[in-house]
Structure 1
Amino acid sequence: MKTELSQNTLENYRAFLLKVLPLAAFIVPMAAVYLANPFDAALNISAQASFELMWKGRTFQLFFIWLISLELILGWENITSKISLQNKPRLALFTAALVLPSLYVLLEFIGLNDVLAAWCSQSGVAFSGSMPLAIEYLAFSAMLLLLTFIGYGKKGLADFALPAIFVALVGVIYTIDNMFPYGQFTPFQLLVPTTASLAGGVLDWMGYSVVQGVEALTGMPTLEVTGAVGSATFAIAWPCAGIESLLIFTAVALLFLKRMNFSLKAKVGFFAVGAAVTYLINVLRITQIFVIGMQYGEYSAQVDAFHYYYGPLYAMAWIVAYPLILMAATMGWQKIRRPRQAPLNPA
């Protein structure tokens, strides 16, 4: 009896370990980089500082970890590992894939980033110093897909598509901005004039003097805002307008809604509401940076902190929270609609 219990305990522990190992494969190198805190020559900041940047930093990788964790929690009972001691080739591949994220990060800080940055600079990439980070995001996406395919098969690819697409999308967005900076990528820049105009309207409604214009050199829309405490003028490119958050919301929402048992009409409605709120947050994000710029100065540390961290964090907090809000609302609605059972012995 004791032997059977210990065998069952061992099997349960093995099953648990095989499920969480892909998550640990990314947590370990991120934690090591943060604790060791090497200087990131490509970004020209310390590794710890890179985790404090939403735009062109590693904060998005924390959301990547959160999404993997969420997929594990939601699909725990349905996740079945294909790894066994009997299948030694698959076990060897799985072990190698687990080591890949740590190995890649190690190579980055012993020279790979310098090589990538130099190659991108020679290729004419405008922001070549940011390219190693963009490639890191893309590499993490590929490694997660490889891990889940080896560990869980084709079903694993579908189960973990959301975090893989999310982190790949961040890498693609960074790459586009590195290659076409200052709003040069027209498809992403199309929404910016409307967003800037709406932000100008909000600032005007708040009592500030607003002059809208266009920057001659880049063609980006500008706002010149004046208030009692000062004035601020900024040109607005698509990263500043939060277009990346709309793209990330679209990917996250579509993949999430696809898995939920909602009607098509409900899915369209939920997506539209979420997209509208995301867009509104981006309008308010532009509004806020002008308020900060007037109060502290256009080139102040407060403006930089909001531009690179807190501004993008507004939208990301909403994108992360929205699926949880929908799940909680659905569970609450099901409880309300559930018919009450009649008493066993009615009076």
Structure 2
Amino acid sequence: PLFYVLSVNFWGFDQFVLDLGRGLGFSGLRLVKHWVLSFEYSVFTFPFLIGIVLAYGKNGLKFFSVSLSLLIGVSIFYTLDTFYPEGTLKPLELLALPTAACAAALLDSMGYSFVFQYIPGPKAMPIITLNGVYRIGIAWPCAGVHSLFLYLIIISLLFKKSSISNFRKLIYFIIGVVGTYFVNILRIASYFVILKNDGISAAEFFHRTTGELYFFFWIFAYILLIIVVERFTLVERIRLYVKKIFTIFRKGKKV
């Protein structure tokens, strides 16, 4: 990464990256933003992977599996969005439709005035028009489809290392999927709330920065919750307390 930063700032490597993107057929915002971002994620991923292998060997891959999964996963999804923009990657875009619809329902319950539409076609995506002014297309990365896949990877790695029973793993998994899905809905709704109150610049800033952190805050908080529940046997304690309450209640009825 250090070599890349130096080469971009002092040796003109950024121009090489742009020329490479033009050679691949990118132009405009797709070139200067999406292509560059996906390229940089890939550049940062490989040195991190190589450094772990050189420093810790194969054991390092297991120890840093969650970090690697996040970095590699984000790199792959940014690259997919770069090469297949604006709803052209249909399998993932179809997953965005129900998420956008749920976000629209949440906005409706909050009293916001908007139009929600989805017109099938080669580049079809859900569109929310707010107050007849802001017409925003919701592509699959914006709907957080990639976060569902990242969740699957991370939770699978966590369960693989744990001795949690299969039944509890299933319960944790289902709760996590629902939580991740709701976080995606909340992120879309938050974007339109900011758009309504603070304008397009603030909404785009949220989309590029704070909004991306929603999933990471959620997944780390959820993993911490699982660890705390298992570490302090909270499920067993709750069962014991409930059992005691029922026992006291039954004794009281007999008296």
TM-score by length of 2: 0.80
Q: 1:168-207 maps to which residues of 2 (within 5 A)?
A: 168-207=72-111
Shift of 1:162: 2.1
CA contact (8 A) 1:231 1:293 kept: no
- DSSP-derived class of the 1:245 partner: helix
Matched with 2:244 is: none
2:149 to 222, 225, 247: 247
1:114 to 9, 15, 20: 15
The structure with more helix, counted as a fraction of residues? 2
Matched with 2:225 is: 325
- DSSP-derived class of the 1:190 partner: helix
Matched with 1:262 is: 164
- DSSP-derived class of the 1:275 partner: helix
Query: How far, CA to CA, are the matches of 1:220 and 1:146 in structure 2?
Result: 38
CA contact (8 A) 1:213 1:222 kept: yes
2:129 to 206, 224, 235: 224
Change (3 A) 1:310 1:107: same
CA contact (8 A) 1:200 1:212 kept: yes
TM-score by length of 1: 0.61
Query: How far, CA to CA, are the matches of 1:318 and 1:150 in structure 2?
Result: 32
Q: 2:143 matched to 1:238?
A: no
Q: 2:37 matched to 1:133?
A: yes
CA contact (8 A) 1:225 1:233 kept: yes
Amino acid at match of 1:121: R
CA contact (8 A) 1:214 1:222 kept: yes
CA contact (8 A) 2:107 2:189 kept: yes
Shift of 1:132: 3.6
- DSSP-derived class of the 1:207 partner: coil
Query: How far, CA to CA, are the matches of 1:289 and 1:152 in structure 2?
Result: 41
CA contact (8 A) 1:231 1:294 kept: no
TM-superposition CA deviations, 1:204-231 (whole Å, max 9, x none): 22233443213678321112344xxx86
**212-221 or 239-248: which moved more?**
212-221
Change (3 A) 1:334 1:204: closer
Matched with 2:48 is: 144
Query: Which 5+ residue runs of structure 1 have no aligned equivalent?
Result: 1-100, 338-347
Q: CA RMSD in A?
A: 2.5
- DSSP-derived class of the 1:191 partner: helix
Q: 1:38-53 maps to which residues of 2 (within 5 A)?
A: none
CA contact (8 A) 2:125 2:137 kept: yes
Moved over 6 A (4+): none
Q: 1:1-347 maps to which residues of 2 (within 5 A)?
A: 101-109=1-9, 110-126=11-27, 127-129=30-32, 130-214=34-118, 218-226=123-131, 232-297=134-199, 299=200, 301-333=201-233
Amino acid at match of 1:286: I
The percent identity for this pair of structures is: 32
Query: How far, CA to CA, are the matches of 2:68 and 2:170 in structure 1?
Result: 23
TM-superposition CA deviations, 1:46-65 (whole Å, max 9, x none): xxxxxxxxxxxxxxxxxxxx
Amino acid at match of 2:209: Y
Amino acid at match of 1:198: C
CA contact (8 A) 1:232 1:290 kept: no
Structure with max Cα Rg: 1
Query: Which 5+ residue runs of structure 2 have no aligned equivalent?
Result: 238-255
CA contact (8 A) 2:38 2:79 kept: yes
